[in-house]
Every structure is written in structure tokens, then in C-alpha cells.
Structure 1
């Protein structure tokens, strides 16, 4: 009789592919995109040296945070289907190797950001610290971890503006708030999709602790705040950053897509709808940054 027992198949992978997993290469690139978008919105003339430094420094900053995160969560990652094949849970990397990568990335990333200006390096340091020392430990304690994690997650868009101007201000604050409020519908949709898996690892990331309509109401409230903050620049109350009315309408309509799927999730409470909500949020944060840039070059 053939053995029909299901066994976990571990992909051998290569050092490079494991390296990309450890530093979450795709996520890091999305952060780099946000930082460059912030830079382009601030810069009068594009300094390609600074853009390069910002891209490399931003990638190293996020890569370090992700590596530290996976070192801390190695035991939890072994329990979840989506993470058990990562380099550390499978033993393809040991913790010493991961720690060396994380520390080297931190030092190089902060140094590179420092060569742009001191404020950029400060933002990088704050981001790594909050993600590693606040968000990651809190995930197993309280759903408020998502709120704490929204702070380092909201830094990249603002970082680009600060890299270009060497100052904080209302413009950088608006970018921060956009990415801050965006994370709640986005990550609660992810939390909804992976709720059962997260529970296995001792994580409960939904605000009410379960897939219910009270959670969806909070998603909808933060979506409204996200849309409102995203169109505030049309009123020309945000310093040097403003947008045309037609741009505000386009952004409002893009945000309405997230709200629509939020309403659908309230009605049916299904994972399929939560996935559509998550994808709509990914589209939104990418689209508005591109729309903002196009709007600027039409001024």
C-alpha cells in the first residue's frame, strides 16, 4: 500500500531567495516606492544621488526590521502555514546569520540615510526601534499592536519629503497621516484572512478579537479618515503641498472602492470579500502616490 500521509515539503531554496524572504524584498520595495514618491513631491529638482541613497537606505531600514522581526518570531512562525517555510523556522538560516544581516543592515541603512540628512536617519532609527521593540513584542499581547505598528509603517512616505527638504512640517505630517490611517483597513483585512492561523501562533490582530461586524465598523471608520486626509490638500491648507479639485475627486473615488468592499464585508463577513478589501487598499496607497506626483507636475 502506498503511503498517503501528507508531509510538509520544505523547499531547499537558495541563499539569495532565503535572503529575500528574510528581508521581505517585495514589502521593502513597496516602502522604497513610498519614500521616493514623497521625495518627488517635495523636490524642485531631482537629485538622483539622493534618490539612490534614499532607495538603498530605505530598503536596508525595512530589511533590518523584518529580519529582527523573524528572529523574535521564529517559534511562532513554525506554527503558521504561511510562515513555516521561512529560512529561520526551517533551519536554512540560523539566528546568528539572521542577526548579522539585521545588524549590518541597520548600521548601513542609518549611515546612508544620515548622509542625506540627520532627520532622515532619525526617522529610520525610530522606525526600526518601534517595529522591533514595540510592535513585534506586542503582537502576542494585544490587538493594539496594529495601532503601535502603524507608526513605523507610516514613516516611509514622510521620509521622502524630509530627505528632500531636511525639515518636518505640515506636508510631511499629511503624508504620515495618510499612510497611518491606511494601515488599519489594510492590516485588519489581512488579519481577517489569516485569523485562524494567527490564533495558532498566539496572535489576535483584529480589534474586537474576532471576525465580526464591530471589527468591520472600525475598518470603515478608518477608511473614512483615510479618504478625508488624502483630499485635505485640495483646500490649500497644507503648506507647499496641494492638489487640484479633479485630483481630489479621483482620490475620493479610489477610496470609495475600499469603503465599498468594507460595506460588503459588513454584509457577508466572508474571507473572499476581506481579500478584495485588502487588494483594494494595496491599489489605493500605490495609486494615490502616483496621482499626487502627476498632479504636481501639472502645476
Structure 2
């Protein structure tokens, strides 16, 4: 019994996703911090986890009926009937209030960005998925906040540095989510969700994946030009980041040629590798300065 409740709680708050968000925001903090304050890192990790958990719980309450239609999601706690909507709503609300309070204790700007993130994810992105493919653009905004949030937690400022960290994660999301949209196209279609550009599983969608991958690569190496305030990377780091981006581009082009789910999966996995490795490379670079 306890194990089921625990697993349902894990699924409702998407612990895996939450941990990846916490990881990225801590990397952002390390990039911005003059001296490392472990209390703030702990608050950022806990606050960030609660914000993502809340967004996912709200999302699953709203999409309960849609989730029931898809193979991938029909066994989630709500559509399967193992958890009541009111329970999920209570968890989401408690997570939101506690998360915002913790982020506010770091500084008010962190709480503001946290609140914007939850609001956009639940009130704009989630309902828009059933209406327009532009939902992915709206969803990319809350999705790009974690990296930047870490910088704001460290410095108390939202300047060009935080803006660039935001843009890296923002542009990264298009090839990532469209690769998932490609893989799940039939399922999403059945549930009435619009998760590919122009709603078509065709070469046009892949051209957009390639386009945004190229922009992401350019934004990721821009700090080497010393145009991003205090955010600077060495030329050797820029080369490394460029090669990392080329890996994603390689699979995007491969997908363009084959239009196969196998290559879409490879692109998706390459994108996960990219967003995990890039913050680590940036942080190592900073500590070599």
C-alpha cells in the first residue's frame, strides 16, 4: 500500500524531471556565485523541486481525461483512479505555496520567476496543447527558467547573463520536444494534442528542428565572444560546446533523411545528453578562470 502511494506521488510530481531541473538550476547558481553558499543551494534545490512538482501535478489534474486516452499516460495515478483529483490539487497547492516561500527566502526575483513558471505551464501551455502547435513555444518559457533561476539566486540580478542562460534552454526545447512529438505523434493525435509544428509528421517539422538546433548552438557558444557580461567561456570550451551541439545537429539531419522513429529517438537522447553536459562544461570552465 505504502509503496503504491509513494510511486503514485513520484509519478504525479515527475521526480526524474524535477531532479533534472534542480541540477540545471544549481549549475546556473554555480556560474553566477562569487562565493558558494550551501544553504542557498539547498533552498534552490528544494524550491525548484517543489515548483516543478506543482506544475506537473496541476498539469495532470487538468489533463486527466486526455491522459486516459494515451497508452503512455493512462496508468498515471489520476486517469487510473488510484488518486482523486482533490488529493492531487492539494499536493500541487501545498507544493506551490511552500516552493514560492522557499524561493522568496533566497530573493524576491526567484519567487517571481518561479510563480511565472507555474502560471505559464498550467494556465497557458497545458490548455494550449489541445488547441495549437504554438503551445510548444509557450511551454518553452517555463521550461527555460531553471538555468536562469540559478543565476538570479546567486546574484539577485536578471541581466544579460541570465538572459543567455534562458535562451540556451529555450531554443534547446524545440528539437527536444518535437523529437518526442514525432515519436508520440499517433498517440498525441488520438488525444487531440498538437505537439508538432504545423501538426504534420513530415520533413517540414524536421527543418524546424534543424533550424532551432542551429540557433541553440550559436547562443551556446556566444559567451566566448565576451558579449554576455560576466558570463564568459574559453575558446576551447566553445569548441567543446560546438561539438556537443553538432551531435544533435547530426541526428536532426539524419532524421530529415530517414523520417524514422529510430532517428527521432536518437535526436531526443542526444538532446538530453546535451542539456546535461552543457551546464557541467560551463561550470568546469568557470572554475578554471
What's the secondary structure of 1:90's corresponding residue?
coil
Unaligned segments of structure 2, at least 5 residues: none
1:148 aligns with 2:138: yes
Distance 1:204 1:134 in 2: 14
Please report how far the alpha carbon of residue 133 of structure 1 lies from its aligned counterpart in structure 2 after TM superposition: 0.2
Asked if residue 71 in structure 1 is aligned to residue 61 in structure 2, the reply is yes
Counterpart of 2:156 in structure 1 is 166
**1:283 is aligned to 2:255:** no
Among 34, 39, 58, the alignment partner of 1:49 is 39
CA offset digits 1:23-61 (Å, max 9, x no partner): 000000000001000000011111000000000000000
Structure 2 match to 1:24? 14
Note the alpha carbon deviations across 1:97-152, whole angstroms, 9 max, x for none.
Answer: 00000000000000000000000000000000000000000000000000000000
Q: How does 1:216-295 map to 2 (within 5 A)?
A: 216-295=206-285
Residue 97 (structure 2) aligns with: 107
Q: CA RMSD in A?
A: 1.0
Match of 1:196 among 176, 186, 189: 186
Match of 2:288, SS? coil
The separation in 1 between residues aligned to 2:159 and 2:263, in whole angstroms, is 38
The answer to whether the aligner puts 1:208 opposite 2:203 as a matched pair is no
How much has 1:208 moved relative to structure 2?
Answer: 2.1
| Residue 134 of structure 1, aligned match among 124, 142, 151 | 124
Q: What is the alpha-carbon distance in structure 1 between the residues aligned to residue 256 and residue 2 of structure 2?
A: 42
Name the structure where helix makes up a greater proportion of residues: 2
Pick the structure with greater CA Rg.
1
Q: 1:282, CA displacement in angstroms?
A: 0.4
Provide the rounded CA distance (Å) in 1 between the counterparts of 2:216 and 2:2.
42
Count of matched residue pairs: 289
CA distance in structure 2 between the aligned counterparts of 1:171 and 1:118, rounded to whole angstroms: 18
Q: Which runs of 4+ in 1 moved over 4 A?
A: none
Q: In the TM superposition, what whole-angstrom CA distance separates every residue of 1:55-91 from its partner, at most 9, and x where no partner exists?
A: 0000000000000000000000000001000000111
TM-score, normalised with respect to structure 2 = 0.99
Residues 186-222 of structure 1 deviation map (CA, whole Å, 9 limit, x = unaligned): 0000000000000111112100212111000000000
Once residues 102 and 257 of structure 1 are traced to their aligned partners in structure 2, the CA distance between those partners, rounded to angstroms, is 37
- 1:243 is paired with a residue whose SS is coil
Task: Give unmatched runs, 5+ long, in structure 1.
Answer: 1-10
SS in 2 for 1:88: coil
- In 2, distance between residues paired with 1:286 and 1:44? 23
Work out the CA distance in 2 between the residues paired with 1:250 and 1:157: 19
